[in-house]
Amino acid sequence: MVKQNLAIPVRKRMASSLDGPLLAALLITVTFWGSAFAGIRAGLRSYSPESVALLRYLTASLVLAGYAVVTRMSLPAWKDVPRIVLTGFLGFSFYNVVLNAGELQIEAGPASLIVASAPIYVALMAGIFYKERLRWVGWIGILVSFIGVAVISVEPGQNIHLTQAALLVLAAAISQSIYTVAQKPLLRRYTPLQFASYAIWAGTFFLLFFSPGLLAQVRQASLESTLAVIYMGIFPGAIGYACWSVVLARMPASRAGSFLYLVPAAAIVIAWLWLGEVPSWKAVLGGVLVLLGVIVVNVRGRSAPD
């Protein structure tokens, strides 16, 4: 028999205030996802983009499988499998493949800016499917955060054209948004860790298409690159996505999406500490704008009590 654990009642999960556990989940998500940018760069020194994605989520899948065995995690109901497979494919397989393909031909700054449009699509889709409304002040906050990411990401003289590569990165941003919004109904029936496990396993299954040649790359890779990819699988992967599901289980998607703008700001701080890359005044200014926009969305942007 399939058990559907509800660790937190649905009404209580939709918290309107940022209590301790919710703040912790947000902090862990933003910090680990921000660290993934430095980890990817370290991994790409020895691995292809596709192999980085596959090895990362194989690691995440094994970690979550171990947890599932120890805790005797139940399987999902058959009626939910199609949605879980779809979210796993969009959030992990499709997202990583098209983003990596796009970033082979487009500069990192414009690519980061295009990906940063995801919270806009999250807010729009949440409004359409879940009737979550932001006040006009909330949309201003989203715009301010987006401008902050632009200041961080785009260097003077860089242009963003709707080339095939840019469209691939845009497809990645949209797929990430669909992943965020589509999991909301499932989080009423499964715990965040259950859903994250199911989705990562589904996404990893499709990434197995890129398995030929992976073992050869592992043998030839530097230890630093391999450890970086394993780190991404455990922390930004398994733990980060589980915490993100905790956030979505307790917060409207339109508000939760605004916190994604903090990821590039966190990436700058982590690159400073990890890689010794001192942030420029541009990066500091952009980070301040990002933080200001997120505060506006969450303090003044709600149209009604959640």
Say if residue 164's pLDDT is above 80.
no
The angle at the Cα of 210, spanning 205 to 212, to the nearest 5 degrees, equals 115
Residue spans per domain, the chain: 17-131+161-253
User: What's the CA gap between 170 and 180, in Å, rounded?
Assistant: 16
What is the residue whose two structure tokens read 């003289």? 157
d(CA 102, CA 108): 10
Q: What is the pLDDT of residues 19-45, one digit of tens each?
A: 888 999 999 998 998 888 778 878 888
**Which DSSP category does 72 fall into?**
T
Residue count (the chain)? 306
Distance separating alpha carbons of residues 215 and 22, to the nearest angstrom = 39
Q: Rounded to an integer, what distance in angstroms lies between the CA atom of residue 157 and that of residue 153?
A: 12
Q: How do residues 214-249 score in pLDDT, each as one tens digit?
A: 999 999 999 999 999 999 999 999 999 999 999 999
For residue 44, the SS3 value is coil
Structure confidence at residue 149 as a pLDDT band (50, 70, 90): confident
Can you tell me the distance from the alpha carbon of 104 to that of 61, in angstroms, rounded to the nearest whole number?
26
Nearest to 26 by CA among 228, 297, 180, 242: 242
pTM over 0.85? The answer is no
